Chains A and B, each alone.
Chain A
């Protein structure tokens, strides 16, 4: 059996498994979280991992990398599409202020505390890795908050605001990722060359966005529209890989530009929505394939990150109450509701790995995956318990 076939069989099992789970009608918030977060696809990836059952051998993993790159690009593009500046006026200004503050407080606290731990040799991580952890730790879980809102575990006014915050801080996270990659560029090139290389990649994205605007009318049906987007994402991903830039950020940038160029939003969404879920599952499967479980030496970093993130989220949550900027103060126990990590954080670490193929990033990815499930489980349990 070839590895590709192995993948096919496993994903078919996952689809059928998901169907059976739906039939069994297990509808707890925990099972819903596992289903919607694509846990089973991640698990299949882990099982197929070269270090576990070795269904996907290293050589095949390498050969399929360009496809995984593309899936990452599609993810970034979808995040970019969410930032329609026309729709920004729909939300009160203080929502933005609060979200940015929450993100920045979390970011600064996580970054500084991890840096202190690193200088005191309690954890092993470079400052770029710490920056990456600070970014992903500052984003909230769209899925976790969404599920709690659906179950009416959060008051509706808060739910609306928290859902906005998690969606917006994910966008802020991708923007910060762009900056991080620029800093990374500075570590491999001198300043002028870094500016030139990054500038050139942004220029190509702008050019492609104008290209889209100029030619969109030629791609009339949703199938043709999907073709155009598919082609542009492939080019962006190729450019990102070639110029050592972030696949997520550049494709996000393309999505952002396109959606704000008076584009036919409905047409774009119709073209991309059908592929959102399948590609998300493939992304999770891919993440499972790349995990490296020899992470014992990163034990300190793992626990340090979880605790520091808890402190950071508590402080940021406290900010809401202290300044009473919100309509109604968030319930005390809900201060930690944004502790759950965003699923986008997994994609970000994978993105970083694809850029420089540093094996340490795969260990970091494993820690982030574990943190993602632990923090979200903690929040769901915490909120549900408080409800009682």
Chain B
């Protein structure tokens, strides 16, 4: 009740100031300052409120975004979102650095067999099975919404690719909450982080390929291939470069660490923007480099974790506010089908891997429960799509994708928690 009253008071202050106490000029600066303050505290309270019914905090942030966004209260408009876009990208950079920081090579070596088998299955089986099924399904459910039949093929490719994504952030969140330790925990974590990297790496390729079907007269030229190569290697190079700078800083300078990390985030965000590189790859790479080639990797992750809460709130609230409910209504059934199919193929992927490796019952039948949660990176991918495919088509795809993220985000942590308890690896 306290939390609800708190959130209502905050939203009330903004409402009164904007609508009834008109004495000054409501400039964009004033608006952005008030909105950021209200979103940070309000979203936290809403998330805590929903946490009572076991909903993850990230869902709470997204629901707050939905409430204060253009769909309901209109506090956070599309114009505000555009103005505050820098903060969204900045938050994404930090989330991705943390994800990369979880990929410790020495830990993965010990569980390389199940990790690689599950990873291979989850990527190829889920992708191709979904791709093949989605062509007739898209035709059936989205056919009347799409003028050009070629779009269906493009949709199928994009759907299948984005279904691969899995949030390392939510995985880490549950592991920390339950203080979980054990083989299953390690396998799920390693597959999650590795898959996030692979998905981000192949995604530009998939987007470009899908454009052949989505955009009229679009052709896959050598220049585009070169642009992709530039994008992937440039992003990797930037990430490695920033990782080396962080290592040198942590080793030799060691002062003003908080300020330095803050600036590193800005540096990644700005350089990725200037050189048109993929911020997710750069940031993950920076995290990997620091974690694996420096003794101070843990220090970096701890440093970021200390400041991560506002970033998560901004990122997920903005994502919630960007949700186009009106478009979503048109394709709700498609969203549900995608979720169920994704679950089915995740189960099959892990079952096959477990069967051939003669793994225990937990890995064979239950480990798929650790791969449902989609957040952070998936939302990032959806944003890429919106930018790459402008107009109604991109918007609809983004909305469907974020809707699957929201639903998976509801289910993911609950399922993963169940898995860890079942595997007797939860210590709380």
User: Contact residues of A with B, CB < 8 Å?
Assistant: 2, 4-5, 7-8, 11-12, 15-16, 18-19, 22, 65-66, 69-70, 193, 196-197, 200, 204, 207, 211, 214-215, 218-219, 223-224, 226-228, 230-239, 241-244, 274-275, 277-278, 281-282
* Inter-subunit contact A274/B258 (CB<8 Å): yes
* Inter-subunit contact B253/A230 (CB<8 Å): no
Write out the residue numbers on chain A whose beta carbons fall within 8 Å of the beta carbon of B34.
234-235, 238-239, 242
Contact of B6 among A4, A215, A241 (CB under 8 A): A215
Write out the residue numbers on chain B whose beta carbons fall within 8 Å of the beta carbon of A277.
256, 259
Contact of B253 among A15, A228, A244, A278 (CB under 8 A): A15
Question: Whole-angstrom distance between the alpha carbons of A237 and B6 in the complex?
Answer: 19
Write out the residue numbers on chain A whose beta carbons fall within 8 Å of the beta carbon of B2.
214-215, 218
Stretch at the interface among B17-25, B139-147, B324-332, B342-350: B17-25
Question: Whole-angstrom distance between the alpha carbons of A334 and B23 in the complex?
Answer: 49
User: Knowing A66-B32, A224-B44, A234-B34 touch, does A214 contact B259 (C-beta < 8 A)?
Assistant: no
* Inter-subunit contact B6/A69 (CB<8 Å): no
A65's nearest neighbour on chain B, judged by CB, is B29
* Inter-subunit contact B33/A237 (CB<8 Å): yes
* Inter-subunit contact B262/A278 (CB<8 Å): yes
Write out the residue numbers on chain A whose beta carbons fall within 8 Å of the beta carbon of B31.
238
User: Knowing A4-B270, A215-B3, A231-B41 touch, does A242 contact B263 (C-beta < 8 A)?
Assistant: no
Write out the residue numbers on chain A whose beta carbons fall within 8 Å of the beta carbon of B5.
214
Write out the residue numbers on chain B whose beta carbons fall within 8 Å of the beta carbon of A4.
266, 270
Contact of B33 among A2, A196, A241, A278 (CB under 8 A): A241
Chain A nearest CB from B257 CB (Å) reads 9
Known: A231-B36, A238-B31. 4 other contacts (CB 8 A): A223-B307, A231-B41, A243-B23, A274-B306
Q: Quick check: is B9 within 8 A (CB to CB) of the other chain?
A: yes
Q: Quick check: is B353 within 8 A (CB to CB) of the other chain?
A: no
* Inter-subunit contact B260/A15 (CB<8 Å): yes
Chain B nearest CB from A225 CB (Å) reads 10
Q: Quick check: is B40 within 8 A (CB to CB) of the other chain?
A: yes
Contact of A12 among B27, B32, B260 (CB under 8 A): B260
User: Knowing A19-B253, A281-B259 touch, does A234 contact B309 (C-beta < 8 A)?
Assistant: no
- Interface size range on B against A: 35 or more
Question: Whole-angstrom distance between the alpha carbons of A325 and B415 in the complex?
Answer: 72
Q: B21-52 interface mask toward A, CB cutoff 8 Å, 1 = contact, 0 = none?
A: 10111110111111011111100110010000
User: Knowing A233-B37, A278-B258 touch, does A238 contact B3 (C-beta < 8 A)?
Assistant: no
Write out the residue numbers on chain A whose beta carbons fall within 8 Å of the beta carbon of B39.
231
B305's nearest neighbour on chain A, judged by CB, is A223
Contact of B3 among A218, A231, A237 (CB under 8 A): A218
Contact of B41 among A5, A196, A227 (CB under 8 A): A227
Chain A nearest CB from B410 CB (Å) reads 22
* Inter-subunit contact B41/A232 (CB<8 Å): yes
12 pairs, CB–CB < 8 Å, chain A vs chain B: A5-B267, A218-B6, A224-B44, A227-B310, A227-B313, A231-B39, A238-B31, A238-B37, A241-B24, A242-B30, A243-B23, A281-B256
Q: Which 3 A-B pairs have the closest CB atoms?
A: A234-B37, A238-B33, A231-B41
* Inter-subunit contact A238/B313 (CB<8 Å): no
* Inter-subunit contact A223/B37 (CB<8 Å): no
B267's nearest neighbour on chain A, judged by CB, is A8
* Inter-subunit contact B9/A207 (CB<8 Å): yes
* Inter-subunit contact A238/B41 (CB<8 Å): no
* Inter-subunit contact B48/A218 (CB<8 Å): yes
Question: Whole-angstrom distance between the alpha carbons of A214 and B41 in the complex?
Answer: 13
Write out the residue numbers on chain B whose beta carbons fall within 8 Å of the beta carbon of A223.
305-309
Write out the residue numbers on chain B whose beta carbons fall within 8 Å of the beta carbon of A65.
29
* Inter-subunit contact B259/A278 (CB<8 Å): yes
* Inter-subunit contact A227/B40 (CB<8 Å): yes
* Inter-subunit contact B258/A230 (CB<8 Å): no
Q: B118-147 interface mask toward A, CB cutoff 8 Å, 1 = contact, 0 = none?
A: 000000000000000000000000000000
User: Knowing A207-B9, A215-B45 touch, does A238 contact B30 (C-beta < 8 A)?
Assistant: yes
Contact of A214 among B6, B30, B252, B307 (CB under 8 A): B6
Write out the residue numbers on chain B whose beta carbons fall within 8 Å of the beta carbon of A278.
256, 258-259, 262
Chain A nearest CB from B271 CB (Å) reads 7
* Inter-subunit contact B40/A243 (CB<8 Å): no
Question: Whole-angstrom distance between the alpha carbons of A200 and B9 in the complex?
Answer: 15
User: Knowing A69-B33, A215-B45 touch, does A243 contact B24 (C-beta < 8 A)?
Assistant: yes
* Inter-subunit contact A15/B24 (CB<8 Å): no
Chain A nearest CB from B129 CB (Å) reads 41
Q: Quick check: is B13 within 8 A (CB to CB) of the other chain?
A: yes
**Contacts of B302-335 to chain A: CB distance below 8 A:** 305-310, 313
Q: Quick check: is B255 within 8 A (CB to CB) of the other chain?
A: yes
Write out the residue numbers on chain B whose beta carbons fall within 8 Å of the beta carbon of A214.
2, 5-6
Q: B197-218 interface mask toward A, CB cutoff 8 Å, 1 = contact, 0 = none?
A: 0000000000000000000000
